[in-house]
């Protein structure tokens, strides 16, 4: 498949006092249109930094990002981001939160229909007038996904969107997110530290085994959905992923 998004030798360093800290080092990979990629790495390996650079919220120290043939310079509506926490505006209803990015960009009728469709897609029908404070953590995160999708971005960037949820809610949201992706085939880069989550979702897994973020391995997962983690091939891949993190501990 042709590359839709290309990262070319992305490095990022921060200066803390007199110290230079490398968050990412010469990171290169490609994402095809419609692909669902999971990036997996331990805390501090640079996952959030990487997503923020792709989103344009942070500038790389060196390297280049090409989206659909164009070098990315800044933030843009073609990249939507979902954060670890929902970040909904507490003074707006759910409907208004989801409509925030498209307000004034289309007719009221189309706006209303887009928001209603999105709410249905993420399982929030009936909660249009609810306030963020009236939602559970899972519902709020569903709303955050709908809000990011409202502007119809070419790429959805998800930074551990389910990590703050309890195990049952996380599992349900994971299944629902998979259905949503199968419906939309939106290009997604999903960052996680959970190997099972990556194996459940990813068509490809990119492993960042240590800090500073460098690619340790890229694994294709050509398995149909829904997947059973008991599948012997997936279990073998899980071992392969975990061994990279354990190898790092013994270095």
Ligand X SMILES: Nc1ncnc2c1ncn2[C@@H]1O[C@H](COP(=O)(O)OP(=O)(O)OP(=O)(O)O)[C@@H](O)[C@H]1O
Binding site for ligand X (CB under 6 A): 14, 16, 21, 23, 41, 43-49, 193, 211
Distances (CA, A) of 148 to 80, 168, 192: 5, 23, 18
Our CB check for ligand X shows the closer of 84 and 169 to be: 84
The residue whose two tokens read 């229909």 is 113
What is the β-pairing status of strands 217-220 and 3-16?
A: unpaired
Our CB check for ligand X shows the closer of 9 and 120 to be: 9
- 3-class SS of residue 222: coil
Compute the least distance from the CB of residue 211 to ligand X, in Å: 6
Compute the least distance from the CB of residue 245 to ligand X, in Å: 13
Compute the least distance from the CB of residue 41 to ligand X, in Å: 5
Compute the least distance from the CB of residue 88 to ligand X, in Å: 20
Sheet of strand 19-32: strand arrangement: 19-32, 3-16, 62-67, 70-71
Compute the least distance from the CB of residue 144 to ligand X, in Å: 17
Phi and psi at residue 237, to the nearest 5°: -65, -40
Neighbours of 75 (CB within 10 A): 11
Our CB check for ligand X shows the closer of 95 and 159 to be: 159
Our CB check for ligand X shows the closer of 22 and 131 to be: 22
Our CB check for ligand X shows the closer of 156 and 180 to be: 156
Compute the least distance from the CB of residue 51 to ligand X, in Å: 8
Round to whole Å and give the CA distance between 208 and 213: 6
Our CB check for ligand X shows the closer of 36 and 39 to be: 39
Return the C-alpha torsion angle 162, 158, 32, 55, nearest 10.
-170
User: Which distant-in-sequence residues (6+ apart) come within 8 Å of 240 by Cβ?
Assistant: 217, 219
């Amino acid at each position: 498949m042709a590359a839709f998004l290309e990262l070319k030798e992305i490095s990022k360093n921060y200066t803390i006092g007199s110290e230079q800290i490398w968050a990412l080092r010469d990171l290169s990979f490609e994402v095809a249109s419609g692909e669902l990629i999971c990036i997996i790495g331990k805390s501090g390996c640079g996952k959030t930094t990487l997503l923020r650079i792709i989103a344009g919220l942070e500038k790389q120290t060196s390297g280049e990002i090409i989206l659909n043939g164009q070098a990315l310079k800044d933030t843009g509506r073609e990249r939507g981001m979902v954060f670890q926490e929902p970040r909904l505006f507490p003074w707006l209803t759910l409907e208004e939160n989801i409509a925030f990015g498209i307000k004034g960009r289309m007719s009221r009728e189309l706006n209303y229909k887009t928001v209603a469709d999105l709410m249905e897609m993420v399982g929030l029908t009936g909660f249009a007038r609810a306030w963020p404070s009236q939602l559970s953590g899972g519902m709020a995160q569903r709303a955050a996904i709908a809000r990011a999708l409202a502007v119809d971005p070419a790429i959805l960037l998800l930074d551990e969107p389910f990590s703050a949820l309890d195990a049952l809610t996380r599992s349900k949201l994971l299944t629902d997110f998979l259905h949503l992706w199968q419906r939309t085939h939106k290009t997604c880069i999903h960052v996680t530290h959970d190997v099972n989550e990556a194996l459940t979702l990813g068509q490809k897994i990119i492993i960042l085994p240590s800090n500073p973020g460098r690619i340790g391995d890229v694994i294709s997962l050509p398995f149909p959905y829904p997947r059973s983690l008991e599948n012997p091939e997936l279990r073998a891949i899980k071992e392969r992923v975990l061994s990279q993190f354990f190898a790092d501990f013994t270095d």
